[in-house]
Amino acid sequence: MSTTVFVSTYTYSVTYVTGKLLAQIKDVVRLSGLDPGHLTDGWACLERGISTWLRTQHLEEIVLEVYDPKTDGLVGRWDFEIYYGFSGDGSFWVDPAAIRYHILKQGVLPSTCRYRIVTTTKTGRPDVWGWSPSALRSTAGFVKQSIGTTIDGSGLSAGGGYWRRAVQ
């Protein structure tokens, strides 16, 4: 008699990367001086959408947009790009220090700002309850600063970057 065991490491990767992405977004919100209440209120919906689209490999990017509610203009933005199929050493890791360092470089945002989380997905993605199409605000007048890979989930990874006002 023989026993065969199959473990889906990709399923574990999806769970790991989803949790770490949301934790990094929470750090950005909290350490930038914004109210994390909006984020925690929608946590289950965020988790459902991100994990679904990671599992189907439709998720391209998660964007945290920070905007002025009076003008609806962009104040800052954080991007988390998704990379599929990287064949590393099979390890799982996260680099929260890289995010914290860049939050300090960007500085605290006005507490009157609001934020939202928007995703970009590939065509044909499955619909997820609680998510609807949306357009990103213009980044005109801003420049993107890359952080590099901040999460690796053994074949599924994410890189970070943020947008700051361009120096005139």
Residue 1 lies in a domain: no
Q: pTM of this prediction? A: 0.91
Residue 144 lies in a domain: yes
Per the structure block, which two tokens stand in for 89?
A: 């050493």
Measuring CA to CA, which residue among 8, 48, 10 is closest to residue 157? Answer: 10
Measuring CA to CA, which residue among 24, 18, 90, 91 is closest to residue 55? Answer: 18
pLDDT of residue 13: 92
52-61, 67-76, 95-104 — which is least confidently predicted?
95-104
Residue 30 lies in a domain: yes
Residue 2 lies in a domain: no
Q: Looking at 56-127, list the stretches that DSSP marks H as alpha helix, in order from N- to C-terminal side.
A: 96-106
- Per-residue model confidence as pLDDT tens digits over 111-138: 899 999 999 999 999 999 999 999 999 9
Q: Which helix (H) or strand (E) holds 159?
A: strand 156-165
Q: With cut-offs at 50, 70 and 90, classify the pLDDT of residue 45.
A: very high
Residue 67 lies in a domain: yes
36 within 8 A of 24, measured Cβ to Cβ: no
User: How many structural domains comprise the chain?
Assistant: 1
CATH number of the domain within which 108 lies: 3.30.900.10
pLDDT of residue 35: 93
**Mean residue pLDDT across the chain:** 92
155 within 8 A of 85, measured Cβ to Cβ: yes
What distances in angstroms separate CA 110 from CA 66, 71, 162, one per listed residue? 10, 14, 16
Residue 107 lies in a domain: yes
Structural domain harbouring 153: 9-165
pLDDT of residue 6: 47
pLDDT of residue 39: 94
Residue 22 lies in a domain: yes
Residue 97 lies in a domain: yes
